[in-house]
Structure 1
């Protein structure tokens, strides 16, 4: 998992918002563009000295635009401070314009400029391409690489010399500081910019210095891994000032942000005060899914939990987890008394897409109860629109799809969902209503009238069967204890991720879903 600084602002923005703030500063506040560039370069130079242990040999990669101009400022400051410096440029100096050209002239005018080793990447890279050698772009003894190739203005896949420069940066053992965003990353979507054949390159940064406003794409999908640790500097352009023309497009949401959402339990409390959750699932051969969801609901504070599953599973489940009330059901009529006693129904874990699961989902959809809809229940909804219409009787519906399930519901490919997770989850909210928790790296939680929350936390060890079933139980438990759908979903995502991180302290590989149950109990009490 990429490190995330606790000092980062919670509010995240799109590229268009950052540009609006730039225009406001230049056109309304009268701040010259070169002054903003100087601020960016100076902040980057301070960060690299603070965060990278005694760097003396720097390699700066500069592109043709304003991001490259930031690199020229950094190079000048490093040269003036006595650093051993190489500057690799993607363009000829005569092609530079605006503030970037001014930054280049200031670099040339500094007394230390003669000691700077300048390399033109376009010509050198073409020669190395013929010789089959990319790695020589960078010397082996570099202490730090500074990536200022491209910023947020890039809208296409990197090719040619730019792509070769990125590969050389990524192949280097030296840490990498990317200024604003890692070059090649779409700052809005969190995806590497790719061509029609799916080819694309992006820098994998050790540290990213986010400028002006934090970009939403750094916190989900590929952006989360490529950006490394993130630090932020607003350069004096405050997005939350009264004169700012922008509003957040998303919020970072961490476990620490959830503390206090549940009230303390009074001494005279009893189990009926904390809700009755009904878990429906566990078709033949899939009993474990329902058990995991039910156990998670209990561990996260639900007062009572009933698991409705196939009759042949009931004895073994009761023996394995006696705190669960396990009922064998083979028909909707057998399920109805349990529906009437429950406040929250979670349906989907191990449900299957056969007749048994379909008929139970039809009955649940007409219940009017608060619902958590997961796994095969979502697949059945994608097949049968009438079920979704029936669900509209429920005031609270939380859907918890992974990207493939979201794709089925949206009628697009999984790749399309992952290409723009923000657009995908917003489309689901717009077209189907309810709360949507789109699982994945940087889980997104969205609902009508709410700003998207991006869950921070979690790790690759959680990529294992049953994790989604546990999350379903967590959401259901928080709903049963009185949280609204959006709050329950976003809190559950962070709680689940934090439990996964705590469980992974003993190792990521080999982590199983049941390992989260104990840390869930420890963490939920902090809420």
Structure 2
């Protein structure tokens, strides 16, 4: 049976499609018609003012979907022009049937002569050029047409994936159509949710084409798309008799000279997420001054080795890294805590130190951004972004850790190969301190008793949803404001 929030590779989507046709007896042309009708419904909902459509079709089934959308639009009384970038006589199978139905309706098929002029006259462009099977850079002649679509004035609805976007990685294959909305068919594809996908897809709508569950037999989803209710499923309701000792004691360690704000943000986030007790071990000068700013936290002299050892002994979980720096003090603190027995959340300079040490331990959560992930794997950030799913799996397996790979479509990977994708968030989050806040949320949930994978998955959802609430109407949102909005998204 299909996963309710499953995310799939392109080849898996094609296998499910083939099973529906070959094993379950659903005619391929029927699935194509369902796809076309679903896409047209999205078109009418998202672009209700569009009256003049330009449908741009390639070869293969993606082009066939475009022919069906064009037929549906024309039957509904819209003005439709169809441009074929592949010879219609070269179509086969269901795509050829869809093309023939378009021609039988008395409609014309245009070549790409005068393409820019047609783009200028359209209210909406339907992109049906390249589908999920693209495995190499877009041909130069097609790339010119995709660039022209992007340069044109009309919004774009992409079918299945924006043409040129890799359906598995979310990276353009040389170039890609910049869609204003995408309707994808059968299952959610990985590449629509992470990488640079958000720059190309617009809002993504899934049309499952009403396939029976039998079509999904033996096809295990490659990843899970997180839902907004997952936190309430994993975080237990508080009993009336709950006291602070039930909610975990978190120790945050960091804040080298000049960086006291990082552990403060992590501690604030942990308190707002529900930690019963939070201690911060930091530089002596910061411990003395920061208590005024956040008196609910126990500020401790992190330069006192005996006191640090005692704090670690009393803590339920340790968050190491926010503002940690690379000083001798930082290295000494890292060396002591990295080999401790407490559950650990590692971030920022804690991760940079790990990249040098290359060690393993149990019960830890790593929260790298692409640059830190690149250092951990000894590759470039571009290689991490080229296939974020492969990167998070490699990190989780190599370090035997739960890994939160931050960025658009944050990924959470487990050592056993499971991956979850966070579909929430906003570009307004691109500001300093966001990672520190996330570290505090992750560590708080771990301290409240959630398993590492659950704590990380719930944390990225809380963080992103709080940011959405905080950023409403704002181009930029500060990390502190996101922390202030955690209560909006936390279950009661």
Match of 1:321 in 2: 294
Q: 1:246 to 1:301 in 2, by over 3 A?
A: same
Match of 1:429 in 2: 396
Match of 1:83 in 2: 78
2 CA distance for matches of 1:366 and 1:436? 18
Q: CA deviation at 1:124?
A: 5.3
Match of 2:164 in 1: 184
CA RMSD between the two structures: 1.9
8 A contact 1:182–1:227 mirrored in 2: yes
Q: Which runs of 5+ in 2 are unaligned?
A: none
8 A contact 2:195–2:385 mirrored in 1: yes
Q: 1:523 to 1:22 in 2, by over 3 A?
A: closer
1 CA distance for matches of 2:489 and 2:208? 33
Match of 2:479 in 1: 513
Q: CA deviation at 1:32?
A: 3.2
Q: Please give the residue correspondences for 1:35-114 in structure 2 after superposition, counting only pairs within 5 Å.
A: 35-110=30-105, 112-113=106-107
1 CA distance for matches of 2:158 and 2:322? 42
2 CA distance for matches of 1:256 and 1:227? 24
Match of 1:146 in 2: 126
Q: Does residue 1:120 correspond to 2:134, yes or no?
A: no
Q: 1:415 to 1:184 in 2, by over 3 A?
A: same
Q: CA deviation at 1:154?
A: 1.2
SS at match of 1:320: coil
Structure 1 stretch 267-276 or stretch 37-46: which is displaced more? 37-46
8 A contact 1:434–1:448 mirrored in 2: yes
2 CA distance for matches of 1:24 and 1:268? 54
Q: 1:317 to 1:189 in 2, by over 3 A?
A: same
Structure 1 stretch 93-102 or stretch 413-422: which is displaced more? 93-102
1 CA distance for matches of 2:33 and 2:475? 43
2 CA distance for matches of 1:449 and 1:241? 26
1 CA distance for matches of 2:27 and 2:341? 59
2 CA distance for matches of 1:72 and 1:145? 13
2 CA distance for matches of 1:220 and 1:298? 30
Q: Does residue 1:471 correspond to 2:438, yes or no?
A: yes
1 CA distance for matches of 2:288 and 2:138? 59
2 CA distance for matches of 1:467 and 1:180? 33
- TM-score, normalised to structure 1's length? 0.89
Q: Stretches of 4+ moved more than 6 A in 1?
A: none
2 CA distance for matches of 1:105 and 1:79? 15
Q: CA deviation at 1:103?
A: 1.8
1 CA distance for matches of 2:417 and 2:86? 44
2 CA distance for matches of 1:30 and 1:329? 68
Q: Does residue 1:12 correspond to 2:7, yes or no?
A: yes
Note the alpha carbon deviations across 1:438-476, whole angstroms, 9 max, x for none: 000010001033631111211111111111001101111
Q: 1:243 to 1:401 in 2, by over 3 A?
A: closer
State which of 209, 213, 226 in structure 2 corresponds to 1:253.
226
Structure 1 stretch 488-497 or stretch 320-329: which is displaced more? 320-329
Match of 1:174 in 2: 154
1 CA distance for matches of 2:300 and 2:276? 17
Note the alpha carbon deviations across 1:277-314, whole angstroms, 9 max, x for none: 00000001111111111111111111111100000111
1 CA distance for matches of 2:229 and 2:25? 39
SS at match of 1:248: coil
SS at match of 2:471: helix
8 A contact 2:352–2:375 mirrored in 1: yes
2 CA distance for matches of 1:267 and 1:497? 29
1 CA distance for matches of 2:15 and 2:329? 54
- TM-score, normalised to structure 2's length? 0.95
The size of the alignment, in residue pairs, is 490
Q: Which runs of 5+ in 1 are unaligned?
A: 1-7, 126-134, 194-199
Q: 1:335 to 1:217 in 2, by over 3 A?
A: same
Match of 2:180 in 1: 206
1 CA distance for matches of 2:439 and 2:270? 8
Match of 1:4 in 2: none
SS at match of 1:217: helix
Q: CA deviation at 1:400?
A: 0.4
2 CA distance for matches of 1:295 and 1:29? 55
State which of 227, 232, 249 in structure 1 corresponds to 2:206.
232
SS at match of 2:117: helix
SS at match of 1:306: strand
Match of 1:27 in 2: 22
Q: Please give the residue correspondences for 1:404-423 in structure 2 after superposition, counting only pairs within 5 Å.
A: 404-423=371-390
Q: CA deviation at 1:423?
A: 0.2
Q: Please give the residue correspondences for 1:266-277 in structure 2 after superposition, counting only pairs within 5 Å.
A: 266-277=239-250
2 CA distance for matches of 1:315 and 1:494? 34
SS at match of 2:54: strand
Q: Please give the residue correspondences for 1:276-425 in structure 2 after superposition, counting only pairs within 5 Å.
A: 276-385=249-358, 388-389=359-360, 392=361, 394=362, 396-425=363-392
SS at match of 2:279: strand
2 CA distance for matches of 1:523 and 1:214? 25
Q: CA deviation at 1:242?
A: 7.2
2 CA distance for matches of 1:190 and 1:181? 10
